[in-house]
Amino acid sequence: MTDAPHDHSVSPEEAEAAVRTLIKWAGDDPDREGLLDTPARVARSYKELFQGYESDPRAYLERTFEEVGGYSQLVVLKDIRFVSFCEHHMLPVVGVAHVGYLPTDRVVGISKLARVVRGYAKRLQIQEKMTAEIATAIEEVLRPQGVGVVIEAEHSCMTLRGVNVPGAKLTTSALLGVVKDDPRTREEFLRLTR
């Protein structure tokens, strides 16, 4: 398991001092009235936005249900909205994830798929890595016959700044097991996520 542990050695005061520095770097005065509480707010909001470092998303998948009445088709949860942050610019990445798997003998509570997405999203990420991490977590913990993850997201670092192309979206996918290797299952997964 390669989860980055959260570094609790940084005190809130240190985080707030760093925000003050960035306010100055942006060109404003951290001592003006409207900005006095901002460093503390930003430090608190970072804890919320980067909650993903606090837990191992794989743990969400450990509770499973085996009584599925012989159900043996794809399970697909579509349009899981998420907000992440690109690790190059620390700017928001906003998008949706579609997550599916073909069960072997057990299924997981569907909310847990969304929790896994959120757990990996609330970190500094690149989309390719996040896509692969979600698929690998499901494969390794749930041991299904196959897994598919498709993510479509808008990267503020290229829609609001830099190359500035509003509306551009990046699509990534990670297909494993029969979702990758069996043409019919693959086709069905991609049709269900469209």
Ligand X SMILES: Nc1nc2c(ncn2[C@@H]2O[C@H](COP(=O)(O)OP(=O)(O)OP(=O)(O)O)[C@@H](O)[C@H]2O)c(=O)[nH]1
Q: Please pick, from the candidates 126, 132, 160, 190, the single residue that binds ligand X as defined by CB under 6 A.
A: 126
Q: Which residues of 142-156 are buried (b: 16+ CB within 10 A; e: fewer)?
A: bebbbbbbbbbbbbb
From the list 13-21, 53-61, 104-112, 124-132, the region that binds ligand X by CB under 6 A is 124-132
Angle formed by the axes of helices 127-142 and 110-121, nearest 10°: 140
Q: Confirm or reject binding of residue 86 to Zn ion (CB under 5 A).
A: yes
Q: Does 127 bind ligand X (CB under 6 A)?
A: yes
Candidates 14, 62, 88, 128; catalytic one = 88
Task: Enter the DSSP assignment of 168.
Answer: -
157 belongs to the binding site for Zn ion (CB under 5 A): yes
Query: If binding is defined by CB under 6 A, does position 86 make contact with ligand X?
Result: yes
89 a catalytic residue: yes
> What is the secondary structure of 54-96 as a DSSP string?
GS-GGGGGS-EE---TT--S-EEEEEEEEEEEETTT--EEEEE
8 belongs to an annotated ligand binding site: no
Residue 17 vs 168, nearer CB to ligand X: 168
Selecting among 16, 98, 125, 127, the annotated active-site residue is 127
CB atoms within 10 A of CB 29: 11
Hey, what are 154's tokens? 């808008």
The interface partner of residue 1, options being Zn ion, ligand X, none and the CB cut-off 5 to 8 Å by kind, is none
Nearest to 116 by CA among 92, 148, 80: 80
Q: What, of Zn ion, ligand X, none, does residue 159 touch, CB below 5 to 8 Å by kind?
A: none
State which residue, 32 or 88, has the beta carbon closest to ligand X.
Answer: 88
The single residue among 157, 160, 190, 192 that binds ligand X, judged by CB under 6 A, is 157
Where do we find the tokens 């006095």?
36
- Whether 125 sits among the annotated catalytic residues: the reply is no
CA atoms within 13 A on the CB side of 91: 12
**Catalytic residue positions, numbered:** 86-89, 127, 155, 157
Site residues, Zn ion (CB under 5 A): 86, 88-89, 157
